[in-house]
Structure 1
């Protein structure tokens, strides 16, 4: 696969409920740390699918930060763009509902990832920049990632946007929405959930009209839909490779799988994405749906490896 994908955004620790006694109160269920964050999970997913990938973020020098670096490297992700600092690692406390859907409460004050600095010129072989989730909400890093995305789009690189409008993270929603609008206008690909579209107040048609090359909407058990310039609206059902365990990282796996699929078609370019027809999008969405199915079949954000996505092997706990 030619060219590098740079993924910019937060890397954090999810505190995830584990099975066991909770003294009759679900709020007291034991929690276990899991490494995550939307961009971090996307980078890991790309690495597992064999796409040359670099992670751009700022990580703490605490043990959690060391563990995040180690996981990136273990999954083939280049860490030369990482920045380190003494600030704490962002924490996300996860609760799961009866259906396994995840909800998050974030501890972000003064954390390392929101203090990322402008990296300057990206590696010369970079063809795409993926940005998104909390890193586009929390300042001062949010403005730096937004400026980077607009700059790289102007240089002809594909920008892929994954917005995430978590309630309660900011009181200045209007500024966040304006920031997302500006990135979407230059993005070759926007991947978002139906919940994020509702919070953003933008339909896929709105985003296409604003300039996005294509918009992929994740709809949970209802599957995926691509709103495109070259193929109209294309829908595929959700896939399943095993019982649903939890939904942590499912959307990130979709993002990684779509970018890997585009890389395999040598289509990591804005015009190439905009020109894909309905048959191509049916194939790409099918790949992404299978990637999400693998992820939800095991605990935590564990995206599939290439041999899993391509083969008929069954889920295994990581």
Structure 2
């Protein structure tokens, strides 16, 4: 396995329903804090899969920020690029529908992660930079991450993008679209959901024509599809490995598993991604689908560890509830 992945973007706290009724109103449910945020979940997922990973973000010095640092440490994620400040941690209030699908209401005013500064030089062994989600919507950090992505692509590093667009968060939707377009044009990999593609107004073919090396589209229960330069269009079904608990972090686990698959084959490189054939993409997507299956089988964003994913891919999958830190 060669090269380091730097993951840039928000780290936040999801307030997730526990199932317990609120004592003052039986229509409400008690909420429990779970550590998350798209890029944060990707970093944890990569760390669990044994990929050298560094998290780039700004964290609060509050109790939630300290807990986020501890979770990164516990999952073998390097924290040397973390920035700290007294601003509050971003909060996401989660509601679950009858099928376990998550909806989010974000509390982001003046929060620490959106105030990230340009980190300067990334670690010398960096092979890839992954960016995405809220961090590319909320200024001033959004423009800084976008500029970093373009700069690192120009230096020959693989850029991986996950837009994860959330309705109602952007003060200037046109500026967000322009920012995503600029990153996608230099990205070796774009991973997005079918909902993101619709909100962005870009098809996988559009993104390939604009310059992206490959586009992986997640389609919920319909599975994953890779639109590629070297392998055409490749699709795999979603995994059905047990009861669905919730979908929190499923897409982030896909992103982490794809990058881990590339890292394991020495392919954290734009040209290498563009040249993958259909068989390689099928294998990569199968790994990503199984990572998502592990994540949705347990509450919150709990991506698989290396031994879990390896075991499940050889047919010995079994659900586990003791998932570590």
The residue aligned with 1:79 is 79
Contact 2:21 2:27 survives alignment (8 Å): no
1:296 and 1:12 map into 2 onto residues whose CA distance is 19
TM-superposed deviation, 1:22: 4.3
Deviation at 1:314, TM superposition (A): 1.8
Question: How many residues are treated as equivalent by the alignment?
Answer: 318
Partner deviation per Cα, 1:186-241 (whole Å, 9 max, x = no partner): 00000000000000000000000000000000000000000000011000000122
C-alpha distance in 1 between matches for 2:201 and 2:27 = 32
Per the normalisation by structure 1, the TM-score is 0.98
Distance (Å, rounded) in 1 between the aligned partners of 2:157 and 2:128: 5
* Counterparts of 1:27 and 1:183, CA distance in 2: 43
Name the CA distance, whole Å, in 2 between partners of 1:287 and 1:168.
33
Matching residue of 1:214: 214
Distance 1:227 1:127 in 2: 22
User: What is the match of residue 237 of structure 2?
Assistant: 237
Match status 1:130 vs 2:126: no
The one of 291, 315, 318 aligned to 2:319: 315
- For residues 237 and 109 of structure 2, the distance between their equivalents in structure 1, rounded to whole angstroms, comes to 39
1:2 Cα shift?
A: 1.2
Structure 1 residue matching 2:198: 3-state secondary structure: helix
2:95, 2:104 within 8 Å by CA — same for their partners in 1? yes
CA RMSD of aligned residues (A): 1.1
What is the CA distance between 1:316 and its match in structure 2? 2.1
Instruction: Map Cα deviations across residues 166-191 of structure 1 (whole Å, 9 max, x no partner).
Output: 01101310000000000000000000
- The residue aligned with 1:49 is 49
Secondary structure of the corresponding residue to residue 255 of structure 1: helix
Separation (CA, whole Å) in 2 of partners of 1:82 and 1:167: 28
Q: Give the corresponding residue for 1:92.
A: 92
- Cα distance in 2 for partners of 1:108, 1:200 equals 21
Kept in 2, the 8 Å contact 1:42–1:256? The answer is yes
TM-score normalised by the chain length of structure 2 = 0.96
Q: Is this contact kept in 2: 1:240–1:294, CA < 8 A?
A: no
Query: What secondary structure, in the 3-state scheme, does the structure 2 residue paired with 1:6 have?
Result: strand
Aligned equivalents of 2:27, 2:134: Cα separation in 1: 24
Other structure's SS at 2:127 match: strand
2:68 corresponds in structure 1 to 68
Stretch of structure 1 that moved more, 89-98 or 21-30: 21-30
Cα contact 1:153–1:186 (8 A) shared by 2 = yes
Q: Secondary structure at the match of 1:169?
A: coil
Please give the alpha-carbon distance, in whole angstroms, between the structure 2 residues aligned to 1:211 and 1:26: 52
Relative to structure 2, which stretch is displaced further, 12-21 or 220-229? 12-21
Over residues 81-102 of structure 1, what are the superposed CA-to-partner deviations in whole Å (9 max), with x where a residue is unaligned? 0000000000000000000000
Deviations, residues 269-308 of structure 1 (Å, cap 9, x unaligned): 0000000000000000000000000000000000000000
**C-alpha distance in 2 between matches for 1:172 and 1:281:** 36
The reply to whether residue 9 of structure 1 matches residue 9 of structure 2 is yes
Aligned 1:1-318 pairs, distance under 5 A: 1-22=1-22, 28-311=28-311, 312-317=316-321, 318=323
Alpha-carbon separation, structure 2, partners of 1:243 and 1:195: 23
Secondary structure at 2:15's aligned position in 1? strand
Q: Contact (CA 8 Å) 1:65, 1:89: kept in 2 or not?
A: yes
Misfit runs of 4+, over 3 Å: 22-27
